[in-house]
Structure 1
């Protein structure tokens, strides 16, 4: 028999085959451009929108005070967007989060303002109510089998009505100063700085470094498993661009009132949920359910259990958003949270989530939310009336979804 043992040259070629196949798969310039555009286009769009409104507002948009206001005014929408993108990745939707924000804030206000409970007890109660609401939704969706659209539409009406009952159709205020600091407080002066807060810059630098390391490790892992990645120059450009934007914003915050406490909360949530969705079994199962439900079930994924916890998590984040919003407003109102669910859904889709599920990232949803925030704030500074603002935001959402569908059709045509 003749030997079939490969030569050294053949072994070398075989070892390099995965990498070669990887690069061959994206060698077509048009395919490469479309893939890179999908992965990094949201960051380019974010910077472009900031630049546009900076010019249109004569630089007011990027003033230290206004950047601080953007963070404070839209933080609760970004918290909701984190939970909403996970729901959408799994192929569901949640229309009730605005009502849940109102209900959790109302419960906290009744306990703290009317019944003189400690401020922290109100926060714990608000989050607990949010978790209970999420479990309610999860039960009907996961174990009864009612579509999430119907369950959460019913929840939107149900929990708005409960909010009116809890508040007895009146507004409650004010909260204690400790409660208000969650959404209105700042950390500054911890390590000094001449005319600026050095602590804010230090935290921002650490965040940028962590983002770069995490992105590089993720890139290496994808290459190792022969998954397509963006070109290395584009990856470096994206990291530098994100780093420059973050440090610029940090510089402006450092020259205003320092680091907002709510920004720290948001950063912790983004980091934690980024790790959960990208590095845990639960995260992979969420993507599997949204990408191909039948395949996920055949692979042994406990679909009912995962769907249940997806909605519990959404309720938890709605409770957190309720605390932040009531802290920011220094009270609870029957109409609180109105249309918040649409802002959160828009943020997820603008950030790259797919309508059919299976696609999306926490970071993308947050950037999508920031795009909406910058657009809203910029148009307010320009004196644009509310009706025109709604038209513009609606068109942006429509274009984002159309872009996703266009990409899917192109991908199907090239197979």
Structure 2
């Protein structure tokens, strides 16, 4: 019975972890069949550029959700960070890095402000960030004096629109892009091997070795194919380098650090975390400081991509980020979720949006589809929890 239970647990875990990846592959296959240009190098590059800021927000949002909170203000913080940067760089004539530092400082201050009300005063994050959504949107309008500011140009513009191309040569392709993606595949394979060895050491159930090898080969082939498409287009986008750094850093933080373990503990069982000596107020404060920081990074990326700042920038970004996390496997009750899952969830949103736009689907229909996908993702999570409880 124990062996059967282990196999069932392994199958259930693999379904949860791989289901969203299978869904992403199915979406890509469907849209590539329905619109031939979907898999063109230019369109794949555009997907990365157009939705990079949602990916950045999803990294911070999944940590917030794991901790048992929610943040409705990130779209307004994106707008405020971009507005402050534009006032300094576009209107004030300061160097690009002054705008970046100022926007980052604004994000950290916003995070500290909201973290204080949540962690110290004890107001639920939903209320604090709902107030923040209104407050920071109003501040954005005041900072910009209700007008748009553009263009940034120069180095600031290249943050989200520039490419690394030709540094290592290549005939008809960018060699650096292929090398970077090759290293990423090698890193993925190494992590998978280490995780498998650790699971075997602790006598945990693992998939059959041929299936394990097949998974690495398939993932490696898909990643290298994607890298080749970028290499033959415009090369390695600067914003993809930024995303890779953030994903690696925050994967380590959430999975390997004391702070990450404490976030999972608070979201999973708050009373137990308190009894275990976790400094709940400190961790909750840092969760929102980090969310403010990543919102500012997203604001810099978005304003760079748009080459300007607008009072209405960032509207509905919070909903896209939250949806990406839940589609990516985060639990509505907290304590469950991964950065990589949130990234796949965000890519599912990006692929759906891009594919429907290519097909000429109306905006209203796009919103309906996104809403249904989010609802089904959460329903799947609830269904799995009920089955686990029943057993």
2:360 corresponds to 1:383: yes
Write the distance in 1 (CA, Å) between the matches of 2:279 and 2:209. Answer: 37
Write the distance in 2 (CA, Å) between the matches of 1:94 and 1:168. Answer: 26
State the match for 1:6 in structure 2: none
Higher-Rg structure is 1
State the match for 1:407 in structure 2: 384
Q: Deviation per CA, 1:162-207, whole angstroms, max 9, x where unpaired? A: 0000000000001031100000000011111111111101100101
* Match runs of 1:36-75 below 5 Å: 36-58=14-36, 60-75=37-52
State the match for 2:372 in structure 1: 395
Note closer, same or farther for the CA distance 1:226–1:140 as it changes in structure 2 (3 Å cut): farther
Aligned residues: 391
Runs of at least 4 residues of structure 1 off by over 6 A?
Answer: none
State the match for 2:342 in structure 1: 365
State the match for 2:250 in structure 1: 273
Q: Deviation per CA, 1:246-283, whole angstroms, max 9, x where unpaired? A: 11111110110000000000000000000111111111
Q: Given the alignment, which residue of 125, 132, 149 partners 1:148?
A: 125
Note closer, same or farther for the CA distance 1:105–1:86 as it changes in structure 2 (3 Å cut): same
Judge conservation of contact 1:40–1:238 (CA < 8 Å) in 2: no
Judge conservation of contact 1:197–1:258 (CA < 8 Å) in 2: yes
Write the distance in 2 (CA, Å) between the matches of 1:360 and 1:250. Answer: 27
* Match runs of 1:210-359 below 5 Å: 210-225=187-202, 232-359=209-336
Note closer, same or farther for the CA distance 1:84–1:391 as it changes in structure 2 (3 Å cut): same
Note closer, same or farther for the CA distance 1:237–1:149 as it changes in structure 2 (3 Å cut): farther
Q: Given the alignment, which residue of 6, 11, 23 partners 1:33?
A: 11
Judge conservation of contact 2:68–2:334 (CA < 8 Å) in 1: yes
Write the distance in 2 (CA, Å) between the matches of 1:231 and 1:302. Answer: 41
Write the distance in 2 (CA, Å) between the matches of 1:131 and 1:238. Answer: 40
Aligned Cα RMSD in Å?
1.5
Q: Deviation per CA, 1:127-151, whole angstroms, max 9, x where unpaired? A: 1100110111111101110000000
Residue ranges of structure 2 left out of the alignment (5+ in a row): none
TM-aligned CA deviation for residue 243 of structure 1: 1.8
User: Matched residue of 1:173: which SS?
Assistant: coil
Note closer, same or farther for the CA distance 1:193–1:302 as it changes in structure 2 (3 Å cut): same
Q: Given the alignment, which residue of 76, 99, 119 partners 2:76?
A: 99
State the match for 1:83 in structure 2: 60
TM-score by length of 1: 0.91
Write the distance in 2 (CA, Å) between the matches of 1:127 and 1:223. Answer: 44
Write the distance in 2 (CA, Å) between the matches of 1:236 and 1:399. Answer: 31
Judge conservation of contact 1:83–1:313 (CA < 8 Å) in 2: yes
State the match for 1:11 in structure 2: none
State the match for 1:133 in structure 2: 110
2:178 corresponds to 1:201: yes
Write the distance in 1 (CA, Å) between the matches of 2:385 and 2:164. Answer: 45
Judge conservation of contact 2:10–2:206 (CA < 8 Å) in 1: no
Write the distance in 1 (CA, Å) between the matches of 2:114 and 2:180. Answer: 37
Write the distance in 2 (CA, Å) between the matches of 1:232 and 1:126. Answer: 48
State the match for 1:16 in structure 2: none
TM-aligned CA deviation for residue 33 of structure 1: 2.8
